[in-house]
Structure 1
Amino acid sequence: MSNVVNLSSDRSRSSSAFEDLHRLVAADLAAVDQTIIDRMASPVPLIPQLAGYLVSSGGKRLRPMLTLAAAQLCAAEGDRQVRLAACVEFIHTATLLHDDVVDESDLRRGKASANAVWGNQASVLVGDFLLSRAFQLMVADGSLRILEILSHASAVIAEGEVLQLTTANDTETDEAAYLQVIESKTARLFAAACQIGAVIPGRPMAEEKALEQFGLNLGIAFQLIDDVLDYSAKQEKLGKTVGDDFHEGKITLPVILAYRRGTDEERTFWRRVMEDLDQAEDGADLAHAQALMIRHGSLDDTVKRARHYGDRARDALAIFPESAVKTALSEIVEFCIERAY
Structure 2
Amino acid sequence: MTHQQDNNSNPITYAQIQGIVADDFEKMDKQVFGSLNSKVKLVMAVSQHVIDAGGKRMRPLISLLCSRICEDKQFEPAMHLGAITEMLHTATLVHDDVIDSSGMRRGKPTANATWDNPTAVLVGDYLIARAFNLLVGFGSLPLLKLFSDGTCDIAEGEVLQLQHQHNPQATEDDYMKIIDGKTSRLFMLSSQGVAILHNRPEFDDTFAKFGQHFGNAFQIIDDVLDFSGDSVVLGKNVGDDIAEGKPTLPLIKALEFTKSNNPTDFEILRIAIQTGEVADTAQIIDIVKNSGALDYCREKAISETAIAREAVLSLPESVYRQGLLDLMTLASQRLY
What secondary structure does 1:233 align onto?
A: coil
The answer to whether the Cα contact below 8 Å between 1:170 and 1:275 also exists between their aligned partners in 2 is yes
In 2, Cα distance between equivalents of 1:12 and 1:242: 31
Q: CA deviation at 1:333?
A: 0.6
In 2, Cα distance between equivalents of 1:13 and 1:191: 30
Q: Which amino acid aligns with 1:47?
A: V
Q: CA deviation at 1:120?
A: 0.7
In 2, Cα distance between equivalents of 1:69 and 1:123: 32
The answer to whether the Cα contact below 8 Å between 1:230 and 1:243 also exists between their aligned partners in 2 is no
2:278 counterpart residue number: 279
What is the aligned counterpart of 1:167 among 164, 173, 178? 164
Q: Which amino acid aligns with 1:309?
A: E
Residues 97 and 58 of structure 1: is their aligned pair in 2 closer, same or farther, counting only changes over 3 Å? closer
The answer to whether the Cα contact below 8 Å between 1:15 and 1:339 also exists between their aligned partners in 2 is no
1:22 counterpart residue number: 18
2:29 counterpart residue number: 33
Q: CA deviation at 1:318?
A: 2.7
Q: Which amino acid aligns with 1:74?
A: C
Runs of at least 5 residues in structure 1 that lack an aligned partner in the other structure = 1-8
What secondary structure does 1:141 align onto?
A: coil
Q: Does 1:264 align with 2:258?
A: no
**What is the number of residues matched between the two proteins?**
325
What secondary structure does 1:321 align onto?
A: coil
Q: Does 1:328 align with 2:323?
A: yes
Q: Does 1:299 align with 2:298?
A: no
The answer to whether the Cα contact below 8 Å between 1:73 and 1:326 also exists between their aligned partners in 2 is yes
Matches within 5 A, 1:91-170: 91-170=88-167
Q: Which has the higher contact order (CA 8 A, sep 6+)?
A: 1
Q: CA deviation at 1:180?
A: 0.5
What is the aligned counterpart of 1:221 among 207, 214, 217? 217
The answer to whether the Cα contact below 8 Å between 1:76 and 1:201 also exists between their aligned partners in 2 is no
In 1, Cα distance between equivalents of 2:24 and 2:181: 28
User: How large is the RMSD of aligned CA atoms in angstroms?
Assistant: 2.0
Indicate the percent of aligned positions where both proteins have the same amino acid.
Answer: 36
In 2, Cα distance between equivalents of 1:51 and 1:321: 38
What is the aligned counterpart of 2:60 among 41, 49, 64? 64
The answer to whether the Cα contact below 8 Å between 2:97 and 2:103 also exists between their aligned partners in 1 is yes
Matches within 5 A, 1:197-212: 197-204=194-201, 206-212=202-208
Is 66-75 or 270-279 further displaced after alignment?
A: 270-279
Q: Which amino acid aligns with 1:89?
A: E
Residues 237 and 251 of structure 1: is their aligned pair in 2 closer, same or farther, counting only changes over 3 Å? closer
Residues 300 and 121 of structure 1: is their aligned pair in 2 closer, same or farther, counting only changes over 3 Å? same
What is the aligned counterpart of 1:290 among 285, 288, 298? 285
Residues 76 and 324 of structure 1: is their aligned pair in 2 closer, same or farther, counting only changes over 3 Å? closer
Q: State TM-score, norm by structure 1.
A: 0.90
What secondary structure does 2:20 align onto?
A: helix
In 2, Cα distance between equivalents of 1:267 and 1:167: 18
What secondary structure does 2:19 align onto?
A: helix
Q: State TM-score, norm by structure 2.
A: 0.91
Q: Which amino acid aligns with 2:188?
A: A
In 1, Cα distance between equivalents of 2:240 and 2:277: 15
Q: Which amino acid aligns with 2:274?
A: E
